[in-house]
A and B are shown apart, each in its own frame.
Chain A
């Protein structure tokens, strides 16, 4: 009885006690000093290590903010909360950057594919063969390199083109680098009017391959109330410094390739989005 139960229990208690003493000793002697400020900043960050701030991890960014190397409002996924939280920790006033969302400048190619693609499911791989299976050389390849890197599952596919969910996207920018056709850009939420095409083909060429493509017809340039739109390389480009997001361009665009806040058919949605603007604008 004694040798079977009591002695093993005493041995294990002894080993446990000795290990406890050794561990306590080790943790005191080999202690790495962790900065309390860094830990506090880290608790305000989302902790997904997306790299949008320019550093490889949230911890590295927290250290850089403490040292004053990086600005405290650079965490895009954290947004306003992170910026204000860091401000409280450091005791300074931080002006939070405006929330941004990734935007895909393509509404999907409307013509049939050139060929059936049976290779690796990756835009980079498909783009190596005749610019992808679609007819447009600048359009969305639709195989989901952007969706693969997205940490928030914010990218879905509609009409063969990627669509970003505004609620889910936190503008980390990983998809911007993943897209081989450079179709994705980060846009502030106040920049509500976007051109859904990057085609640099002429009107005739674009008309032949896509019903959604910008045909550089100059209609938006003429009707813009603030002269914020220019045609560069056969594609409309909006100057967001001047743009007032009134939505006239989206209404008159003959191919409906200008979107207001992600809605493609802007004319139908203009009333509910901006009732005051629509009354002034519609008589035109």
Chain B
């Protein structure tokens, strides 16, 4: 089903903290009139991406909302008007060299659309003398259940995806590219193979449908058989990983110059009548999104992101940000009570990093930092596989997170 465009009738709340790194500082004041695509916040820091207004209207106020990590995040509340005016400053950027590409990507406000929110210009702005990058890996392995937004990117904007890949390969001088798509998306694999028949150095690699296939280290291993060591970047193994939606956005930005003001979101869950993808302006609140969604019942659990790694939200004023890939509505999910560990070892087999979650749990309970370090708890990427598979329903991933926090605090 094609992606539908949604507009926010109510005020949008645009967060200043939409990426890993430094938060942005607003450049407009309450009372100002902003146009769609106008710069509203920027930062001097390199690891940061500017924020653009997704609507045309008046800035109502600066509001603080509570982020999931407990910090207050500054937001701008903008009341949208009916007729949208595109900001006149928007013009296609000149991209001929690598420096221009990095500068343009920074200006576009792009952060990794897969969910982590790492600014893309930092990723492609790697030191080419230090790292010899020979493979560009396109992450199209949407491994989390429910989410289909990257799949729709392949189906609807396949031309942009290919243009984006070629642009980055040409300007960053990367000889090879691999597109990783999970095997349960055969139509996307077929389409991309047909379009790339003449291209020798861009390969399409169907990947097994396993969670967490889209995780960086797992994807690198399954596409190139290279292993990224603890504490190292994929760049040190010669790999640059970009999400398929990010790549397609770069191609679109190079043509039109419209910055990142909207993104594709999957709306799904066990009480949604017609699960589908929507193009949602950044900053649209959960309340507005719920009004537009066809829900059978009142949800009692709403998750931003996938069911495995997403975050539960409680506030209807929580805005969609650049990194939100899905909004899931649930009701009457089964509740489990944790029982004692039966030492079956299923979590060890389920762990994609070959770690020992049950041993982490014991070491954490004893606050044994030496053992936690020896067991390499920092390699855990909190994918949630161990908690999911545990027949005793123990909260293993939660303990891993706490153990990582403990190690960080003691350092």
Contacts and interface: CB of A to CB of B under 8 A. Distances in A.
Nearest to A135: B66
A114 B70 contact: no
Contacts of A114: 314-315
A115 interface: yes
Contacts of B264: none
A119 B401 CA distance: 13
A128 B69 contact: yes
B68 A129 contact: yes
B402 A125 contact: yes
Nearest to A122: B402
B401 A128 contact: yes
Given A127-B70, A137-B70, A115 B312 contact: yes
B399 interface: yes
Given A120-B398, A122-B402, A131 B66 contact: yes
A124 interface: yes
A115 B68 CA distance: 13
B335 A118 contact: yes
Nearest to A125: B398
Contact of A119 (B69, B314, B315, B395): B395
Interface string B396-409: 00110110010000
A122 B70 CA distance: 16
Contacts of B395: 119-120, 125
A27 to B, nearest CB: 34
A233 to B, nearest CB: 16
Given A118-B335, A129-B312, A130-B314, A124 B405 contact: yes
- The SS class assigned to the A binding surface is loop
A125 B315 CA distance: 20
A261 to B, nearest CB: 33
Given A115-B312, A120-B395, A130 B402 contact: no
Contacts of B405: 124, 128
Interface string B51-70: 00000000000000011111
Contacts of A131: 66, 70
Interface in B57-105: 66-70
Interface in A116-159: 118-120, 122, 124-125, 127-131, 137
30 contacts: A114-B314, A114-B315, A115-B312, A115-B314, A118-B335, A119-B395, A119-B398, A120-B395, A120-B398, A120-B399, A122-B402, A124-B402, A124-B405, A125-B395, A125-B401, A125-B402, A128-B69, A128-B70, A128-B401, A128-B402, A128-B405, A129-B311, A129-B312, A130-B66, A130-B67, A130-B68, A130-B70, A130-B314, A131-B66, A137-B70
Interface of A: 114-115, 118-120, 122, 124-125, 127-131, 137
**Which 5 pairs show the lowest CB-CB distances between chains A and B?**
A115-B314, A131-B70, A120-B395, A120-B398, A130-B66
